[in-house]
């Protein structure tokens, strides 16, 4: 599973954001540096409306979303590469992840000294990573007061940070997202409407991390038993699989089960929207929308695949 490390200076709201992502309280949240001593690790489901749509059209209720592992890494400080703060210990954690989510404080906190300075914060973190010879794909997220969300000030801050990093920047209130994560879906929707916000920013953050890792999604529909199951065991589920763009059908089959890769014969493939339009797999095949692909076929985003293999 691919890993995203949440980094930033102390007291930027990393653990609050991590808790919101996992929708439960795991990290020890407090307003002093180095609250997070060991990195907290959690698996976060990737929201994908296509998965639910395939479930509904196939009549299979069990769904398995793709997932990303998020790691809450303690706040870096200036001089970390020389051992300042908790220094090299945490730079070591950063080396182990595939991408970074850099959280930047732009909210005011009376318990934290100094005014927010996003440009300076970015420079400090980037310099520490440069000195430590660490280079990772990075998504930048500014942590803003919830009262300023979707206001001109937040748009100005986003443009200012974007100019500094020359990359896409997202804005959210980690505190608000943590509060939203404790509500039911209905309560969450009502609360967001009151704030004039269409949806939680977390979905956007998760999807952006997924894109940053260069991942696409393909789907499988298990209608009977798994390759490793006993004859008496049944498995009916629709599953989303994260995959590096450009991966072949042969390699993709190995993600589902190693036996499929060893005995690979062919892949039956259709697109998720064609499956929905047809109504089920058989009707899609009757319309000529299910095609046979060989081992070197490169899986496309949104493919629904049934692997044929020698058992």
Q: At what angle do helices 118-131 and 152-165 cross, to 10 degrees?
A: 30
Average pLDDT over residues 195-220: 87
Quickly list H helices, the chain: 14-22, 49-58, 87-95, 118-131, 152-165, 174-181, 185-195, 201-212, 249-256, 258-262, 272-278, 281-286
Higher pLDDT, 213 or 254: 254
> Average pLDDT, whole number, for the chain?
82
pTM: 0.79
Examine the pLDDT at 24 and tell me if it is beyond 70.
Answer: no
Report the alpha-carbon distance of residue 192 to residue 200 in Å, rounded. Answer: 8
User: Which of 27-31, 137-141, 290-294 tops mean pLDDT?
Assistant: 290-294
Residue % of the chain over a pLDDT of 70: 81
Report the alpha-carbon distance of residue 201 to residue 207 in Å, rounded. Answer: 10
Higher pLDDT, 232 or 40: 40
Report the alpha-carbon distance of residue 39 to residue 179 in Å, rounded. Answer: 22
* Model pLDDT, residue 80: 47
Report the alpha-carbon distance of residue 199 to residue 177 in Å, rounded. Answer: 10
Give 34's contacts (C-beta < 8 A, 6+ positions apart): 10, 74, 75, 85, 86
Angle (CA) 85-87-88 rounded to 5° is 165
- Domains of the chain plus CATH, in order, are 3-36+73-212 (3.40.50.300), 215-309 (3.10.20.30)
**CA proximity to 249, closest of 311, 310, 302, 300:** 300
Average pLDDT over residues 247-254: 97
């Amino acid at each position: 599973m691919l890993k995203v490390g949440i980094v930033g200076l102390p007291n930027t709201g990393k653990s609050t954001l991590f808790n919101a992502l996992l929708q439960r309280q795991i990290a020890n949240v407090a307003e002093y540096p180095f609250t997070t001593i060991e990195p907290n690790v959690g698996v976060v489901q990737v929201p994908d409306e296509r998965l639910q749509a395939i479930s509904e059209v196939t009549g299979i209720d069990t769904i398995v979303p793709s997932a990303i592992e998020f790691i809450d890494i303690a706040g870096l400080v200036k001089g970390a590469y020389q051992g300042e703060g908790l220094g090299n210990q945490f730079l070591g954690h950063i080396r182990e992840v595939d991408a970074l989510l850099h959280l930047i404080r732009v909210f005011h906190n009376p318990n934290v000294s100094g005014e927010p300075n996003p440009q300076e914060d970015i420079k400090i973190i980037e310099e520490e990573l440069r000195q430590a010879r660490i280079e990772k794909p990075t998504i930048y997220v500014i942590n803003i007061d919830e009262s300023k969300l979707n206001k001109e000030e937040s748009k100005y801050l986003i443009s200012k940070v974007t100019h500094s990093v020359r990359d896409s920047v997202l804005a959210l209130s980690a505190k608000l997202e943590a509060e939203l994560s404790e509500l039911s879906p209905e309560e969450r929707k009502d609360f967001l409407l009151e704030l004039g916000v269409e949806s939680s920013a977390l979905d956007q953050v998760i999807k952006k991390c997924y894109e940053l890792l260069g991942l696409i999604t393909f789907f499988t529909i298990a209608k009977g038993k798994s390759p490793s199951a006993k004859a008496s065991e049944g498995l009916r589920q629709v599953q989303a699989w994260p995959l590096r763009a450009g991966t072949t059908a042969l390699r993709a089959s190995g993600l589902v089960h190693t036996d499929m890769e060893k005995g690979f014969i062919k892949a039956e493939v259709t697109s998720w929207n064609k499956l929905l339009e047809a109504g089920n797999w058989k009707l899609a095949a009757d319309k000529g929308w299910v095609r046979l692909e060989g081992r070197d076929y490169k899986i496309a985003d949104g493919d629904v695949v049934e692997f044929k293999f020698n058992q």
